[in-house]
Amino acid sequence: MSEIRYVSTRGGTAEAGFEEILLGGLAPGGGLWIPKTWPVFTAQDFRAMQGMTYAEIVARVIEPFVAGWIRPDDLLSLARQAYARFDHPAVIPMVQTADNDWLLELFHGPTFAFKDLALQLLARLMDRALESRGERVTVLGATSGDTGSAAIAGCAGRRNMDIFILFPKGRVSEIQRRQMTTVVAGNVHCIAIEGTFDDCQSLVKAMFNDTAFATSRRLTAVNSINWTRIMAQTAYCVAAAVRLGAPDRKVAFSIPSANFGACLAAWCAVRMGLGVDRLVVATNANDILHRFFETGHYTPLDVVATLSPSMDIQISSNFERLLFELYDRDGSSIERLMGRLPRLGSFDVTARALMRARSIISSHRLDDDGIIAEMRRMRREHGVVVDPHTACGTAAARAVGIDAGVPVIMHAQAHPAKFPEAVATALGEPPKSPAKLSRIRGLTENMTTLPNDVDVVQGYVRDNTEADG
């Protein structure tokens, strides 16, 4: 299979190979890496996946993106390891809630949210790249909740990585904190900062901007702009569709969205030949994506706190990859649009680009009252307890009106027990907690509390990593 090269969404930079985009962050110039061409699967290729295990489907779907870098059997073995820790034999089981409605449970990984599906694989691919280069990196990030724990679960015990996650002391939920601090591994460092989430992000930014420091510690991020996360999520879209009859039947997806990672992954599946009737983008009250698909204006507003905190953002980082596609992969147009954001605070797309998006994407917004009503409806009518993020997606699937003959795959993003307060508010009682999640209440926590002071935090990172060379 020939190797796929990667290009920047803002054009103007040299193409890169897989290893470079795996280990690097943004493309030079601030764009995002995206495959230069889409591998296309035939109906026969999809049909061949029908009897495969989940790890086999993942390896098959991402093989073209990593061809030339890793042998197919090594890839399969990494995928098997990545998903061996999931607590369901199907890895991503589906629960039927109506004739043609399916909840795709993406929360059976170590931290009970869908980010495990990408980060378990990403960390293993990175570790392998580093091993063969004889290098070591320091993963650094700030978290207000889900991402930090999934990144830690992926990186814990990997030989060539240290990971430092900063979170605001006293401002993440107890479950989210314990999911980070109870991981026992010498390369994991949880830092409670005496400050807010924004303070944590500023500290991280300052350390990345200190070039001498960033280079000597080989700082790296595992945030959702990394292409590897997208391709791992494309695999679960394909796996779910194949189980419901693809390629001989079209499906629809309904996806609670923030940084647009999961949605972009479904879009990629379409480009790879999967028959998709509709992609539904579901937002909470932070509705920048919904407003965009309604009007073609992209205008970030202030973030408001909701019952679905993992979707409380206004700048949607992966959205730039969709724009690149909508503009026929013309990097200079994207460069121009993104340049308007800091200057003018918004941009508009052409009627043609909007029409293209809407030919397959529909969107819907659900505020907190709607989330509560939807969680109640799902329990009353279907007997299932969904988390507040998932509720945005199940409501959206109904609201946009999908052809009755099309199976709808609704992404269940997190286990409801991760959000006990929201569930108790909606349903009058907290959700049942899986034993593995309850157990972390009794485990010892390991964390260091540091002041909101970049010199102190940087010193801590320095003292706990080996310098390069």
Ligand X SMILES: *Cc1c(COP(=O)(O)O)cnc(C)c1O
Residues in contact with ligand X by CB under 6 A are: 113, 115, 146, 224, 256-262, 310-311, 389, 413-414
Burial of 281 (0-12, 13-18, 19+ CB in 10 A): buried
Q: From the CB of 146, what's the least distance to ligand X, in Å?
A: 4
> For residues 129 and 264, which CB has a smaller minimum distance to ligand X in the complex?
264
Beta strands 448-451 and 188-194 are parallel
Distance of CA 390 to the CA centre of its chain: 14
3-state secondary structure of 460: helix
Choose among 197, 134, 183, 140: nearest CA to 160: 134
348 has which bridge partners? 297
Q: Minimum distance from CB of 323 to ligand X (Å)? A: 15
Residue 206 identity: A
CB of 257 to ligand X, least distance (A): 4
115 among known catalytic residues? yes
Active-site residue (options: 115, 169, 250, 418):
115
Environment class of 429 (CB within 10 Å of its CB; exposed 0-12, middle 13-18, buried 19+): exposed
Q: Which is nearer to ligand X, 27 or 258 (CB)?
A: 258
What residue type is assigned to position 354 of the chain?
A: L
Beta-bridge mates of residue 194? 451
Q: How far is the CB of 255 from ligand X (least distance, A)?
A: 7
* Rounded Cα distance, 411 and 396, in Å: 11
* Sign of the dihedral defined by the CA atoms of residues 418, 421, 425, 427, in that order: positive
Residue 75 CB, nearest distance to ligand X (Å)? Answer: 23
In contact, 454 and 166? CB cutoff 8 Å: no
- Cα–Cα distance, 324 to 359 (Å, whole number): 16
Sequence-ordered list of residues with C-beta below 8 angstroms from that of 100, at least 6 positions apart, any chain: 404, 405, 406, 407, 408
Active site residues: 115
